[in-house]
Chain A
Amino acid sequence: MPLARLDDVGLSHDGGETFILRHVSLNLHKGEFVALLGPSGVGKSTLLRVLMGLSKPSEGTVTGPQDDTGAAEGRSAGKRRAQALVFQDARLMPWRSVLRNVAFGLEGLGLDQQEKRERALDALRLVGLEEAADRWPKRLSGGQRQRVGVARALTVDPDLLLMDEPFGALDPITRNSLQDELLRIWQQTHKTVLFVTHDIEEALKLATRIVVLSGSPAGITGELTIGAEQKTPDSPAFRMYAARLRAMIAGEPDPGGAPYWRSAEI
Chain B
Amino acid sequence: MKAALSRRQRVALSGLGLVVFFGGWEAAVRTGLLPSGMVPAPSSLWQAWLDEVHGGFWQQAILDSLSHYALGLLFGSVLGALIGLLCGMVPVLDAFLAGIVHLLRPVPGLAWVPFAILWFGLNTSGATFVIAISVFWINFYAAYAAVRSVDPELYELASAFGHGSFLGRLFKVVLPASAPGVMAGLRTGLGQGWMSVVAAELFGVPGIGARMMQASSLLATDVVVVYMLTMALLYAVTDFLFGFVRLRVLRWQA
Stretch touching chain A among B31-39, B57-65, B172-180? B172-180
Assess the A87–B157 pair: CB atoms within 8 A.
Answer: yes
Stretch touching chain B among A33-41, A91-99, A250-258? A91-99
Among the listed B161, B168, B173, B176, which residue makes an inter-chain contact with A81, where contact means beta carbons less than 8 Å apart? B161
Assuming the contacts A87-B157, A107-B172, asked whether A95 and B163 have C-beta atoms less than 8 A apart, the reply is no
Chain B 235-254 against A: per-residue CB contact (8 Å), 1 yes, 0 no?
A: 00000000000000010110
Complex Cα distance A104/B168, Å?
A: 11
Complex Cα distance A85/B176, Å?
A: 22
- Residue B100 is within 8 A (CB to CB) of chain A in the complex: no
Complex Cα distance A81/B158, Å?
A: 13
Assess the A85–B252 pair: CB atoms within 8 A.
Answer: no
Assess the B252–A89 pair: CB atoms within 8 A.
Answer: no
Complex Cα distance A264/B253, Å?
A: 52
- Residue B159 is within 8 A (CB to CB) of chain A in the complex: yes
Assess the B159–A54 pair: CB atoms within 8 A.
Answer: yes
Assess the A95–B179 pair: CB atoms within 8 A.
Answer: yes
Assess the A152–B161 pair: CB atoms within 8 A.
Answer: yes
Assess the B159–A156 pair: CB atoms within 8 A.
Answer: no
Assess the B157–A91 pair: CB atoms within 8 A.
Answer: yes
Inside 8 A of B177's CB, which chain A residues have their CB?
93, 95
Expressed in whole angstroms, the minimum distance between the Cβ of A10 and any Cβ of chain B is: 21
- Residue B162 is within 8 A (CB to CB) of chain A in the complex: yes
Assuming the contacts A104-B172, A108-B168, asked whether A94 and B161 have C-beta atoms less than 8 A apart, the reply is no
- A18-68 contacts to B, CB under 8 A, are 49, 52, 54
- Residue A105 is within 8 A (CB to CB) of chain B in the complex: yes
Complex Cα distance A17/B162, Å?
A: 31
Nearest chain A residue, comparing its CB with the CB of B179:
A95
Complex Cα distance A134/B31, Å?
A: 64
Expressed in whole angstroms, the minimum distance between the Cβ of B15 and any Cβ of chain A is: 35
Nearest chain A residue, comparing its CB with the CB of B156:
A54
Assess the B160–A84 pair: CB atoms within 8 A.
Answer: yes
- A73-112 contacts to B, CB under 8 A, are 81, 84-85, 87, 89, 91, 93-97, 104-105, 107-109
Q: DSSP class of B's interface residues: helix, strand, loop or mixed? A: helix
Inside 8 A of B253's CB, which chain A residues have their CB?
94
Assess the B176–A95 pair: CB atoms within 8 A.
Answer: yes
Among the listed B162, B173, B250, which residue makes an inter-chain contact with A105, where contact means beta carbons less than 8 Å apart? B162
- Residue A136 is within 8 A (CB to CB) of chain B in the complex: yes
Among the listed B154, B157, B163, B173, which residue makes an inter-chain contact with A108, where contact means beta carbons less than 8 Å apart? B163
**Residue count of chain A within 8 Å CB distance of chain B:** 23
Nearest chain A residue, comparing its CB with the CB of B159:
A54
Expressed in whole angstroms, the minimum distance between the Cβ of B166 and any Cβ of chain A is: 14
Complex Cα distance A84/B253, Å?
A: 28
Inside 8 A of B156's CB, which chain A residues have their CB?
49, 54
Assess the B161–A84 pair: CB atoms within 8 A.
Answer: yes
Assess the A95–B252 pair: CB atoms within 8 A.
Answer: yes
Among the listed A49, A81, A96, A136, which residue makes an inter-chain contact with B162, where contact means beta carbons less than 8 Å apart? A81
Expressed in whole angstroms, the minimum distance between the Cβ of A109 and any Cβ of chain B is: 8
Among the listed A49, A107, A138, which residue makes an inter-chain contact with B163, where contact means beta carbons less than 8 Å apart? A107
Complex Cα distance A52/B161, Å?
A: 10
Inside 8 A of B157's CB, which chain A residues have their CB?
87, 91, 93, 104
Chain B 117-158 against A: per-residue CB contact (8 Å), 1 yes, 0 no?
A: 000000000000000000000000000000000000110110
Inside 8 A of A85's CB, which chain B residues have their CB?
160
- B168-194 contacts to A, CB under 8 A, are 168, 172-173, 176-177, 179
Complex Cα distance A219/B108, Å?
A: 60
Complex Cα distance A105/B157, Å?
A: 10
Expressed in whole angstroms, the minimum distance between the Cβ of A135 and any Cβ of chain B is: 10
Chain B 67-98 against A: per-residue CB contact (8 Å), 1 yes, 0 no?
A: 00000000000000000000000000000000
Inside 8 A of A97's CB, which chain B residues have their CB?
252
Assess the B176–A54 pair: CB atoms within 8 A.
Answer: no
Complex Cα distance A104/B158, Å?
A: 9
Question: What 20 additional pairs, Cβ within 8 angstroms, besides A52-B160, A91-B157, A108-B162?
Answer: A54-B156, A54-B160, A81-B162, A84-B160, A87-B157, A89-B153, A91-B153, A93-B154, A93-B177, A94-B252, A94-B253, A95-B177, A96-B176, A97-B252, A104-B161, A104-B172, A108-B163, A109-B162, A138-B252, A156-B161
15 intermolecular pairs with C-beta atoms under 8 Å apart: A52-B160, A54-B156, A54-B160, A84-B161, A87-B157, A91-B157, A93-B173, A94-B252, A94-B253, A96-B252, A104-B161, A105-B162, A108-B162, A109-B162, A136-B252
- Interface set of B (CB-CB < 8 Å, partner A): 153-154, 156-157, 159-163, 168, 172-173, 176-177, 179, 250, 252-253
- Top 4 nearest A-B pairs (CB, nearest first) are A105-B161, A85-B160, A95-B176, A95-B252
